[in-house]
Amino acid sequence: MSGKVWLVGAGPGDAGLLTLKGKQVLEEADVVVYDALVGPGVLNLIPESAKLIFAGKRAGNHYLRQEETNRVLLEEAQKGRKVVRLKGGDPFLFGRGGEELELLAENGIPFEVVPGITSAIAVPAYNGIPVTHRDYCASVHIITGHRRADSSLDIDFEALVRTGGTLVFLMGVSTLPEICGGLLQAGMPADTPAAVLEKGTRADQRRIGATVSTLAAECERRQVRTPAIILVGAVCALAETFSWYERLPLAGVRVLLTRPRELSSRLAAMLRAEGAEVLELPAIRTIPLEDNAELVECLDKLSGGGYDWLVFTSPSGVRIFFRKLMERSDIRALGSVKVAAIGQGSEKALREFGVKADFLPSAYDGETLGRELRQRCKPGDKLLIPRAKIGNEALVDELRRDGTLSVTDLPTYDTVYASSPVIDEKAYLEAGEIDYAVFTSASTVKGFAAAVGETDYSRVRAVCIGKQTAAAAQALGMEVSIAEKATLASLAECLREAAKERKSQLKEERI
């Protein structure tokens, strides 16, 4: 039985511009064949179980020839797999999508096309340039600036100039002098506004504005690199008036989130709403302990009223415990037991199961939780703490200071280090392309270090929750900022302040 191929447009880079259908298809894929221009935020959505095949193409550098890519799609589908061909932008706009479908159609392989947002429209929009405006133009034209080796551009420049419309050239950085020269020779006024838009929709996007007669020289002076698009037309003059991305609080900031994927979505959404480009690269994963006889024994004891307090130190601990509880019983098994949570994340996870925390500490760390909870307990109280196999000892040490309390420290999951199979964190770091790394526990710091390996960690600007997390980052030599409170809102505020201060410093240095 044959599988199926989905040709999915990944958009221009910003993960928020991937379509809903594209996201759904990608998350169900068995095999993903992806290009170099797919943004890292989109690559993060690929399921861990999927087979990855890199078919990256950049000017003069092809990992797979087009014929090989076509053959790979066919062979993987013939094995009965769900295959996603993930392409930057839109697969049918100079993406050679039609060529990739020909072999599938010849062999009777079912396929679908999921259109993507093209850089020809989105990148100008992120730079404040509407490609159409009735006061400036009546049409927009998208042209490939790419040429085959040892051949000239096959463009009718006179026809383009006669349209009077906005001209968008894709894949044209290497032929920019010829494009501008062709337009001038065809009669375009030398003072026509023009721009090159580099790395559009990404944190490091850049706009080089000029005229059609000066653009090539200006781009050479400022060392423009791909990916970039060329825009020619009167609408380019609107960029300063309509620019919006640069005005967002975290515009131009690339943030690395290291907490487990299932816990990072809320913080990622908060930061993206303020303009940050967010890379969700979990440094740790939580794995429930298999055949956990001790957990089963504790659940049975809980049902019989054997505990006075349940104490949770993470959302993962909450979810693993209650899912196991629901397999054997239901929420009534809690009876009159009181519930303590270390912070808002754990408290929110409890609400998912219809449970309200009876106690949260004044500061969200193990030592404070242990000290303040000990003061609330009655002599002889029995406490159950379902948490990581290797947990912070400060919580248990504080509780056991009261010799009358019975404390059961129950391992329910293991924490293991993780790294991305498609994104080279070390390369990003050493190229100076990570502005801030956010850490929510000492284990995320250690997991990040394990993924990156030996490097100069003084280049990492770390935003941390809590003293222990900060201490782990400082031990590696990172520059550390600590959130005032152990909440996501406080963490986001800490990042905003750090970014604001850094922008001010860079501005002073330029002056």
Task: Print the SS3 string covering 233-260.
Answer: CHHHHHHHHHCCHHHCCCCCCEEEECCC
Mean pLDDT across 169-181? 94
Long-range contact set of residues 205-214: C-beta below 8 Å, sequence gap at least 24: 205/123, 205/126, 205/127, 205/245, 207/127, 207/239, 209/236, 209/239, 212/180, 212/183, 212/184, 212/188, 213/180, 213/184
pLDDT digits (tens, 9 = 90+) for 410-437: 999 998 888 888 888 999 999 999 999 9
The pLDDT of residue 187 is above 80: yes
**Model confidence over 357-414: pLDDT tens digits?**
999 999 888 889 999 999 999 999 999 999 988 877 889 999 999 899 999 999 999 9
The residue annotated as part of the active site, out of 30, 35, 90, 435, is: 35
Query: So what's the pLDDT on residue 48?
Result: 87
**Type and span of the H or E element at 494:** helix 488-510
Residue 483 has pLDDT above 80, yes or no: yes
Indicate the average pLDDT of the chain.
Answer: 91
Would residue 57 show up in a list of annotated catalytic residues for this protein?
yes
> Of residues 14, 30, 57, 446, which has the active-site annotation?
57
Stretch 342-347: mean pLDDT, rounded?
A: 89
What is the reported pLDDT for 304? 86
pLDDT at position 303, please?
A: 85
Mean pLDDT calculated for residue range 308-327: 94
pLDDT at 227 over 70: yes
Candidates 368, 241, 359; CA nearest to 311 is: 359
Compute CA distances 82 → 85, 111, 198, whole Å: 10, 10, 34
Is the pLDDT at 140 greater than 90, yes or no? yes
- Which amino acid is it at 251? A
Rounded distance between C-alpha atoms, residue 380 and residue 398, angstroms: 15
Q: Torsions phi, psi of 487, nearest 5?
A: -130, 160
Is residue 502 predicted with pLDDT exceeding 70? yes
Task: Evaluate whether 216 touches 180 at the Cβ level (below 8 Å).
Answer: yes
Q: Does domain 4-116 have CATH number 3.90.1170.10?
A: no
- Evaluate whether 11 touches 40 at the Cβ level (below 8 Å): no
Same CATH topology for 254-283+418-510 and 292-398: the answer is yes
**CA–CA dist 285, 115 (Å, integer):** 33
Q: What pLDDT was estimated at residue 384? A: 96
Q: What is the CATH number of domain 254-283+418-510?
A: 3.40.50.10090
How many other CB atoms sit within 10 Å of the CB of residue 72? Answer: 18
pLDDT digit string, tens, across residues 71-87: 999 999 999 999 999 99
With a cut of 80, say whether residue 262 has pLDDT above it.
Answer: no
CB atoms within 10 A of CB 510: 6
pLDDT of residue 58 exceeding 90: no
Q: Which of 375, 374, 342 is nearest to 357 (CA)?
A: 342
Whether the Cβ atoms of residue 112 and residue 6 lie closer than 8 Å to each other:
yes
Q: Which amino acid is at 33?
A: V
User: What's the average model confidence in pLDDT over 191-200?
Assistant: 97
Phi, psi of 101 (to 5 degrees): -85, -20
Please report, for the chain, the start and end positions of each structural domain, with discontinuous segments joined by +.
4-116, 121-247, 254-283+418-510, 292-398
Q: Quick one: pLDDT at residue 439? A: 94
Closest C-alpha among 69, 12, 57 to residue 38: 12
1 pLDDT above the threshold of 70: no
Q: Quick one: pLDDT band at residue 150, thresholds 50, 70, 90?
A: low
pLDDT at 148: 66
Mean pLDDT of 144-168: 87
Note if 381 is an active site residue. Answer: no
Of the two residues 108 and 502, the one the predictor is more confident about is: 108
CA 20-26-29 angle, to 5 degrees, is: 145
Mean pLDDT of 448-467: 92
Assign domain 121-247 to its CATH architecture: 2-Layer Sandwich (3.30)
Residue range 258-265: average pLDDT? 79
What is the reported pLDDT for 510? 54
Query: Average pLDDT for residues 470-486, to the nearest whole number?
Result: 93
Residue 343 banded pLDDT, cuts 50, 70, 90: confident
Q: Which CATH architecture has domain 292-398?
A: 3-Layer(aba) Sandwich (3.40)
* Sequence-distant (≥ 6) Cβ neighbours of residue 187 within 8 angstroms: 158, 161
Per-residue pLDDT at 507? 61
